Structure 1
């Protein structure tokens, strides 16, 4: 499954060439995981591989809209199919301006103190995840894991670790390239 996901990610989500990232940093590649996560096989693979990384005490998954939306849905469905159902939640970029005026959607499926995992498509500096952690904790949930499809290895894991949140990842850039292009055994 990991090798197949790597191939799909390289085909649909990975683009070589100079780009400016959300963080303002320059990079020699762009990774748009949504292209793979919104493809049926890609969603199935991502859902299962992220689910496999979750600690046993996690009861639900969530993340910042828009990047995490297909991820949390895929993991929630995979969890149900694997007899460990986990509800999902989405964290808004801005509080809802009416009704309950909340940041989290899907919160009614959780109890205060529930341990949840935060999902992210790609981690560069970790800034988005630190914002999400604050909002999730303010809503009464406990962040028990932070999981990403791709860790760019550009400081995000270290920033999260400083706050006590080790980053779990399906791939780093080097691991993604290696998994998609395995070397024949000699």
Structure 2
């Protein structure tokens, strides 16, 4: 069995146990769903965090990127895990965090971590789950507004509800660790 598949199976078990709930939910997009995925419960778990960082590094190894970024607060543990593991793997990736609102004092910026980047650098955007893609699309625009380029958007769970297609229509390449069916199957 490949290393990636083994890591995905381990992560799926943690995600199913800690982050995946079935029932009647309203998502941040306003859509109704018969399941909810709260990735922070797993990404803030020591093993879950390590697995997410390791898997993202494996998936991103063939991209010429300087770093990874994402919308705070959901992507904070994803960015941290991925940057730390990248250092262990001798392919250091720096991190960026995109604020929902501009900082109210000091530099009043939307993006944190820019000191580690130069204009034109390519980055990967990280996201825990996409439904419509609205949150990560906003983060991508803010990253582009500061002069960086988006090489790829990497997602833990693609709900397969149109988000990937919206992001691809905007010109972004999208990869995911799991779809819902893959997650449930590997998490058994």
TM-score computed with the length of structure 2 as normaliser: 0.95
The Cα shift of 1:58 comes to 1.1
CA distance in 1, matches of 2:23, 2:75: 24
Where has structure 1 moved over 2 Å in runs of 4 or more? none
Which residue is equivalent to 1:50?
56
Partner of 1:36: helix, strand, or coil? helix
1:50 is displaced (CA, Å) by 1.1
Deviation at 1:97, TM superposition (A): 1.3
Kindly report which structure 2 residues correspond to 1:1-186, keeping only aligned pairs within 5 A, or say none.
1-54=7-60, 55-181=62-188
Q: Deviations over 1:16-54 (max 9, x none)?
A: 001000000000000000000000000000001111111
Q: Give the CA deviation at 1:63.
A: 0.2
1 CA distance for matches of 2:167 and 2:158? 12
Mapped contact 2:13–2:187 kept (Cα < 8 A): yes
Q: How big is the shift at 1:166?
A: 2.2
For residues 80 and 137 of structure 2, the distance between their equivalents in structure 1, rounded to whole angstroms, comes to: 21
1:131 is paired with a residue of what secondary structure?
helix
Take 1:174 and 1:50, find their aligned partners in 2: how far apart are those partners?
A: 19
Gaps spanning 5+ residues in structure 2: where?
1-6
Distance 1:59 1:51 in 2: 12
Unaligned runs of 5+ in 1: 182-186
- In structure 2, what is the Cα distance between the partners aligned to 1:12 and 1:38? 10
What number of residue pairs does the alignment pair up? Answer: 181
